[in-house]
Chain A
Amino acid sequence: MNTQLSRYQFIAVVINFLIFSSILMAPAITVVAAKQDGWLSMLLALVIGLLLMALYLFMFKKYNYPSLFELMDRIAGKWIGTLVNLLIIFYALHLAAMVVRNLSNFMVSSVVPYSHPWIYQVLTLIAVAYAAALGVKVIFLLNEMLFPFVVLFTMGSLLLILREFNFFELKPFFHTPPLEVFQGAYVTLGFPFIEILLLSAFLQFVEKKEKLRIVYLSGITIGGMTLAVTVFLIIGDEGAYLVARETYPTFSVMRDIEFFTVFERIEILLAVAWLLGLFVKITACFLVGMLGLKHLSKSTTYKVYIIPIGILVWAMSNHLHKTVMDFSNFVTTSWTFYWFSLYCLIILVLAVGILRKKHKMPASQ
Chain B
Amino acid sequence: MKKANRTLKEKVVIVIVWFFSVGYAIGYLYDLPIFPVTSWLKAIYEPIYYGLFGGP
Residues of A whose CB lies within 8 Å of any CB of B are 33, 94, 179, 183, 186, 293, 296-301, 304-305, 308-309, 311-312, 314-316, 318-321, 326, 330, 333-334, 337-338
Contacts and interface: CB of A to CB of B under 8 A. Distances in A.
B17 A308 contact: yes
Contacts of B25: 311-312, 314-315
Contacts of A186: 49, 52-53
24 contacts: A33-B53, A186-B49, A297-B9, A297-B12, A298-B7, A298-B10, A299-B1, A301-B1, A305-B14, A311-B22, A311-B25, A312-B20, A312-B21, A315-B25, A315-B28, A319-B24, A320-B38, A326-B38, A330-B42, A333-B45, A333-B49, A334-B46, A334-B49, A338-B45
Size bracket, chain B contacts: 20 to 34
Contacts of A326: 38
A318 B28 contact: yes
B45 A308 contact: no
Contacts, number: 79
A263 to B, nearest CB: 41
B13 to A, nearest CB: 4
A319 B27 contact: yes
Interface of B: 1, 6-7, 9-10, 12-14, 17-18, 20-22, 24-25, 27-29, 37-38, 41-42, 44-46, 48-50, 52-53, 55
A298 B7 CA distance: 9
B13 A296 contact: yes
A304 B22 CA distance: 15
B9 A298 contact: yes
Contacts of B41: 330, 334, 338
A35 to B, nearest CB: 15
B19 to A, nearest CB: 9
A293 B45 contact: no
Given A293-B13, A334-B42, A334-B49, A315 B1 contact: no
Nearest to A340: B45
A308 B50 contact: no
A293 B24 CA distance: 18
A293 B21 CA distance: 14
Q: 8 closest pairs, A vs B, by CB?
A: A334-B45, A297-B13, A319-B28, A312-B21, A308-B21, A315-B25, A333-B49, A315-B28
A308 B22 contact: yes
Nearest to B13: A297
A285 B27 CA distance: 23
Contacts of A94: 37
Contacts of A301: 1
A333 B46 contact: yes
A288 to B, nearest CB: 15
A273 B46 CA distance: 33
A315 B27 CA distance: 9
Contact of A321 (B21, B38, B46, B49): B38
Given A314-B25, A333-B55, A334-B46, 4 more contacts: A298-B10, A300-B1, A301-B1, A333-B42
A311 B21 contact: yes
Contacts of A333: 42, 45-46, 49-50, 55
Given A94-B37, A304-B14, A338-B45, A179 B53 contact: yes
Contacts of A338: 41, 45
A320 to B, nearest CB: 5
Contacts of B21: 308-309, 311-312, 315
A199 B56 CA distance: 35
Contact of B24 (A299, A304, A305, A312): A312
Contacts of A312: 17, 20-21, 24-25
Contact of B48 (A293, A309, A318, A337): A337
A64 B31 CA distance: 46
Given A300-B1, A320-B37, A333-B49, A305 B28 contact: no
